[in-house]
Amino acid sequence: MAIRVHQLAKKLGMSSKEMLEVLSRLNVPVKGHMSSLDDETAEIVTHELATEQNKKKEVEVKEKEAVLKDLEVEFPVTVKNFALKLGIKSSDLIQKLIKKNIFASINHNLDDVTINAIAAEYGYKVHRPPTAEEVLFQDHHQVVDKTKLVPRPPVVTLMGHVDHGKTSLLDYIRKTKVTEKEAGGITQHIGAYEVMINKKAVTFLDTPGHEAFTAMRARGANAADIIVLVVAADDGVMPQTKEAVDHAKAAGVPIVVAINKCDLPSISVDKVKKQLCGMQLISEDMGGKTVTAKVSAKTGDGVDNLLEMLLLEAELLELKADPTLPASGVVIEGKLSPGQGPTATILVKNGTLRIGDIVLTDSCYGKVKAMINDRGHRVKEAPPSMPVEILGLSGVPYAGETFFTVKDDKKAKELFSSRQDKVREDNLKKTKRITLEDIYARLKDGIVKELKIILKGDVKGSVEAIEQSLGELPAKEIKVNIIHSDVGNINDADAILAMASDAVIIGFNVKIEPKAKETIEKEGIDARIYSIIYEIVADVTAAMEGMLEPISKEVFLGRAIVRQVFVVSKVGKIAGCTIQKGTIARSAIIKVKRSKEVVYEGKISSLKRFKDDVREVAEGFECGIGVDGFNTLREGDVIEAFGIEKVARRLEKA
């Protein structure tokens, strides 16, 4: 279909004269604005004009960007403060936001996209000033001087299903690979330790973990260079085995498989290897690349071979660090030690930590007053990959926090204050968000029940691990509310809080203090002590399922056929019935069906055998049934009787 030149010009928002100039430039022969263009020519012209317009806009944007002035903005920024930065009135900025369909007050925080777009309109390009954190990060991540890099020991952590022998394997390595001159071997429980293999050091992380991989487990994977996946030869691949593999792969950490319990009779290592193939862990003897070793933590068979494989894997990774840099690394464990105060087991990832260094973690800081290695000896410095317990911190850090050394105490206080401000700001946002979600949940699901818990653990890492495991439980109708969690024994303050809040006390590897025990027994408080996180999750799940309202389930009792309908004065219609199946009970709920369709659902008003009232009528007998509030019974109707059974419900995901 043809289109005239002036029509195309109008369609594209330009004058006929401008269109004629465009057609001339494109060598399209026309006589004037009344000339016609075929569809193909019109489409080509439209496309060419669109291309030209886009190029023109790109040039304009580049020209505009070239002259944009820098505007330093600290985030988050409110409408009021952003207006001050731009040098305009808040009301003018609000009007501009309204035009963009953004409705905000002067105290509303603006997002990055909106800020950048509006700043560009006023001739500015926004950039953030570097934070103290970023400056610190830059100090610790200087341009690598390859001449100063030296090999560092690999950091290894063991993962796998509960009871597959992770702890037994670690214990065997710990007992057999410590030099004889170390009296008592490794006696210091600091969550990590070094062993010597063929005169080369290997650091092992001893982190707990069971059914749901905890925060410590996930962070352990991030701190480790190699993961040893322990799989029992008799059980094979189990749920936690798969979870361990997922965590390792997500962290990008290489996996070495240790098939344990190979001393047991009637086991099939090949069967386990085939199961591992299903998770893309194909052993070298099956044509894959996964290093796999057969071991027995009980007899020690194959353990030396496994350790040699770890050294070979470490060589391939070419692990190096610069010991001359300021120290940085990861917190493995934090706790409150009697007589020592807050202590932390840390793993140096780069640089060297020395006595007197100022250490800053995410939640505390302090000068290193003492360092204790895994043998219980005090040391003056800790090079890369060395785990040590440090004293001198202002508080107990969480497992998985990063740490840096800073120049002086003043700088540490400044950075710590900055971090705490950010934490408070994040907590305010988090609290507000959760409150809104709770209101929405109450409107959507009705009254939301909650299981209140007071949680105490031996170390902060354990507490955090349990919190994460419980937080991952399905909670559509019931929420786990950990109203208090801390490190240390269960004390009287915990018991009083539980009494006032109607909460359950859960302890992990801790004791109940005498006064607290007295209060707990007197008030009948539910307090439980555990040593396995998996058991806590199982018991809490059972408790939550017990709090659910049971499901009302209909149970079929009997069926009657209406043979005749009688009208009784002052009573109404009575159905003369024969019980075809089961029993019809006076207390039952009934459904009246007509041509297989339910026409009534309700209760029985009367049940008689001849002139006598009866409680129930069995199969094969006749009876008279009065139906409450239903007077349109017909011959041939079917009356089915049901009982209501309460069935325990299972937790459902939100």
> Any binding-site annotation on 167?
yes
Residue 560's contacts (CB-CB under 8 Å, 6 or more residues apart) are: 575, 577, 578, 579, 580, 584, 623, 625, 638, 639, 640, 641
Phi/psi zone of residue 172: left (φ > 0), alpha (ψ -120 to 50 degrees), beta? alpha
φ, ψ for residue 505, nearest 5 deg: -100, 130
Collapsed DSSP state (helix, strand, coil) of residue 229:
strand
> Any binding-site annotation on 623?
no
User: Quick one: tokens of 288?
Assistant: 């894959």
> Any binding-site annotation on 522?
no
Question: What is the C-alpha separation between 12 and 34, in angstroms, rounded?
Answer: 16
> Any binding-site annotation on 207?
yes
> Any binding-site annotation on 287?
no
> Any binding-site annotation on 377?
no
User: Quick one: tokens of 163?
Assistant: 């009871």
- Beta bridge partners, 100, equal none
Question: Which sign, positive or negative, has the C-alpha torsion 623, 625, 631, 633?
Answer: negative
Question: What is the C-alpha separation between 577 and 196, in angstroms, rounded?
Answer: 89
> Any binding-site annotation on 582?
no
The distance in angstroms from the start CA to the end CA of the chain is 57
Question: What is the C-alpha separation between 74 and 182, in angstroms, rounded?
Answer: 54
Based on the number of CB atoms within 10 Å of its own CB, is 222 exposed (0-12), middle (13-18) or buried (19 or more)?
Answer: middle
Based on the number of CB atoms within 10 Å of its own CB, is 34 exposed (0-12), middle (13-18) or buried (19 or more)?
Answer: exposed
φ, ψ for residue 205, nearest 5 deg: -95, 125
> Any binding-site annotation on 210?
yes
Give strand ranges (E) for 351-418: 353-354, 358-360, 365-372, 381-382, 387-393, 402-406
Collapsed DSSP state (helix, strand, coil) of residue 617:
strand
Question: What is the C-alpha separation between 609 and 647, in angstroms, rounded?
Answer: 33
> Any binding-site annotation on 629?
no
Instruction: Give percent helix, percent strand, percent coil of the chain, each to the nearest 5.
Output: 35, 30, 35
> Any binding-site annotation on 260?
yes
Nearest residue to 224 (alpha-carbon basis) of 139, 146, 319: 319
Question: What is the C-alpha separation between 127 and 77, in angstroms, rounded?
Answer: 13
Q: Which amino acid is at 288?
A: G
> Any binding-site annotation on 407?
no
CB 562 within 8 A of CB 637: yes
Residue 277's contacts (CB-CB under 8 Å, 6 or more residues apart) are: 286, 288
> Any binding-site annotation on 41?
no
> Any binding-site annotation on 278?
no
CB 253 within 8 A of CB 227: yes
DSSP strand pairing (155-160 vs 597-609): unpaired
CB 373 within 8 A of CB 385: no
> Any binding-site annotation on 329?
no
Question: What is the C-alpha separation between 369 and 337, in angstroms, rounded?
Answer: 15
> Any binding-site annotation on 208?
yes
Cα–Cα distances in Å, from 588 out to 38, 313, 602, 618?
81, 72, 9, 13
User: Quick one: tokens of 453?
Assistant: 């818990």
Orientation angle between helical segments 132-140 and 409-445, nearest 10 degrees = 120
> Any binding-site annotation on 166?
yes
Cα–Cα distances in Å, from 116 out to 62, 70, 85, 611?
15, 11, 13, 88
> Any binding-site annotation on 362?
no
Neighbours of 424 (CB within 10 A): 10
Residues tagged in the binding site annotation for GTP: 160-167, 206-210, 260-263
Residues tagged in the binding site annotation: 160-167, 206-210, 260-263
